[in-house]
Structure 1
């Protein structure tokens, strides 16, 4: 019989992260794992000895299917940065002692860039102490900024939500006989993939967003005001998509020009908010137009009511591929998606060394950015297959039904 498995979720939630969890759980169960544990609140929860036996929580095929359609992190999450092995060996000794108590042979961590740092450190320590435990990373992030993989599960559904929402915001602006300006702030610290997805709103029935600003290019406020003035002079309403992390030529974030807090998270990242609000206020003062700011914030992360079936399927598949790789002896790896065809669209799974992915940020290629305020058809072509098809929520009494974890 295959030994015990443990799986955790980390970082920001997505609409499909639980589909990856379902993929890990079902594949491990079907391949004969003795026990499958779930860490509560990631590696931090494990350090506090918080975990559950998933076989006692997910008891049927229906519950697995419901889990795939449930947004956010079923097991809970954390933003905990493991120390370097050399500086704090005691933390690693504690983790491995707990894993030994649970007779864990396979460790899976579903997360983004910082979470892959956790897999890198744990697999490094396992190698140093010659532990037989296999460590595999399962990719997740709406930001789509993991290296090597063609894209990350979670991105497609967030992109679908953003493009759909932008179409609705554009429709809203068409009702007035005078120009208005709407600045929509979209997640993206240093990579503008999500904001670029707003370009998909352009279609036969929609003219699309007017301006798109990504953090990959310096943001010039004077040029921005000039462009808005030119567009609004025609009498039309203007809809603008901006990444929360756009920066001035001197390296300062635009949101830092307005009121903001200087707080940072466990990984030293500044807490971002206020880019759209600052720009909308600036436009009102400079141009005298009616301008409003919309911050999508957490709405774009877990909008499972409009998720992409392609995304859900791929999320499930990478979870299953992680189990397969670990059971076949791989460790210190991350499952990645490789696009082998665009027409018809097709992706396969492979594994890559976690050291080539952890702490490496994939940004939008500059050749996919058109001028300073839009994106190219190549970028739209890249994103388009990832938003295709739907898997509707299971509705009860008019609302989506989710699978929740009862730890009592």
Structure 2
């Protein structure tokens, strides 16, 4: 099936610092191919289709497309709506009214589910529609791709932020010897692992990284680990994912459910405050916690140039696939070499991505379960434009009075 009709672009899921670079890649590639009658953007993902809130992307001034490359968040807006059979069928009827024959849907594993449901509804209706997923997630947990656009930038932010938090704790260890850094990342340890990328050497913090793949035995087990690290280093910086559970699958922040999203993901209270209180109550050590939250995935000043470039490239690759007649696939990034770093785009069936997660491999987690390996550094440092420039440490040169 060749190209034709109009092209729809939408953004979905959690926004990132580079998701708009993918949008720019789609729009520019579509303009260059000249195979579509119009390039239409849907406001707030599939919600924009269902409410017919569309914007003409093909007539945007060139300077706006240029600025999109360096603009964080999602310019079109996002959603977490999950399509039902009824809403998917209604969406296809609306697409048909606008002669939309191709869709580039930018998002993660939940968004791949939306793309597949849309394609299936079109097939059931006998409507000729191609749907290609454009990868995006800071969680870096999409199967079939070396890494995900969005990850390199949050990883760079957290490498920088954790390194500075470590220096702060070193300087104030007599006042607040324990600090927790709570990070995003859902059920995989990729985001937590990134905090190690600013370490300067052995013994440098973070001293403990709690990966979802290596949960603590229980709260008391975690506290024992903190105490041992304090006894060894005189201070502790510990990284915890916002979804931290114990070995029995119980949230360490308590089991009072805060929210369940349309895709069934459960959200519990933040573990940072709970663990800080536990350290003070049970260990008698003063503690603090930092929680960068959504600013970590959105901070434009810390964007990785590699991440931005690759986000643009996967958007452009999606258009090439649509022009060739591909559907129900996702663009991937395939690593060609580590040194010098190089990657190219590939493709995978979207069914192998939707509603699935790729967790940290054992080879990337240190034998102690609380650190990363050199293999992870080799993998991740190119994605953050690393390694980071070193900080100074004063030499311990005693002053001898004459």
Counterparts of 1:388 and 1:11 in 2: how far apart (Å)?
Answer: 25
Equivalent residue in structure 2 for 1:8, among 10, 20, 25: 10
Question: What are the equivalent positions in structure 2 for 1:2-401 lying under 5 Å apart?
Answer: 2-32=4-34, 33-56=36-59, 58-60=60-62, 62-83=63-84, 88=85, 90-176=86-172, 178=174, 180-203=177-200, 207-220=204-217, 221-234=219-232, 236-256=234-254, 260-370=256-366, 371-388=368-385
Q: Give the superposed CA RMSD.
A: 1.9
Counterparts of 1:236 and 1:322 in 2: how far apart (Å)?
Answer: 51
Listed one character per residue, the Cα deviations across residues 138-183 of structure 1 (whole Å, up to 9, x for unaligned) are 0000000100011100000000000100011111112236261100
Between stretches 231-240 and 211-220, larger displacement belongs to 231-240
State the TM-score, normalized to the length of structure 1: 0.89
Q: Secondary structure at the match of 2:254?
A: helix
Between stretches 45-54 and 246-255, larger displacement belongs to 246-255
Counterparts of 2:4 and 2:270 in 1: how far apart (Å)?
Answer: 50
| Residue 2 of structure 1: how far off its partner (Å) | 4.4
Counterparts of 2:361 and 2:141 in 1: how far apart (Å)?
Answer: 11
Structure 2 CA distance for partners of 1:48 and 1:147, relative to 1, 3 Å = same
Counterparts of 1:29 and 1:126 in 2: how far apart (Å)?
Answer: 25
Counterparts of 1:235 and 1:108 in 2: how far apart (Å)?
Answer: 50
Structure 2: tracts of 5 or more residues without a match: 388-402
Q: Contact 1:211/1:239 (CA < 8 Å) preserved in 2?
A: yes
Structure 2 CA distance for partners of 1:288 and 1:282, relative to 1, 3 Å = same
> Which 4+ residue blocks in structure 1 deviate beyond 6 angstroms?
none
Listed one character per residue, the Cα deviations across residues 70-106 of structure 1 (whole Å, up to 9, x for unaligned) are 11110001010012xxxx3x32332112111111121
State the TM-score, normalized to the length of structure 2: 0.90
Q: Contact 2:89/2:122 (CA < 8 Å) preserved in 1?
A: no
Structure 2 CA distance for partners of 1:272 and 1:154, relative to 1, 3 Å = farther
Counterparts of 2:275 and 2:106 in 1: how far apart (Å)?
Answer: 36
Q: Contact 2:258/2:269 (CA < 8 Å) preserved in 1?
A: no
Counterparts of 2:244 and 2:172 in 1: how far apart (Å)?
Answer: 30
Q: Contact 1:201/1:209 (CA < 8 Å) preserved in 2?
A: no
Instruction: Give the number of equivalent residue pairs.
Output: 381
Counterparts of 2:87 and 2:173 in 1: how far apart (Å)?
Answer: 63
Q: Contact 1:112/1:140 (CA < 8 Å) preserved in 2?
A: yes
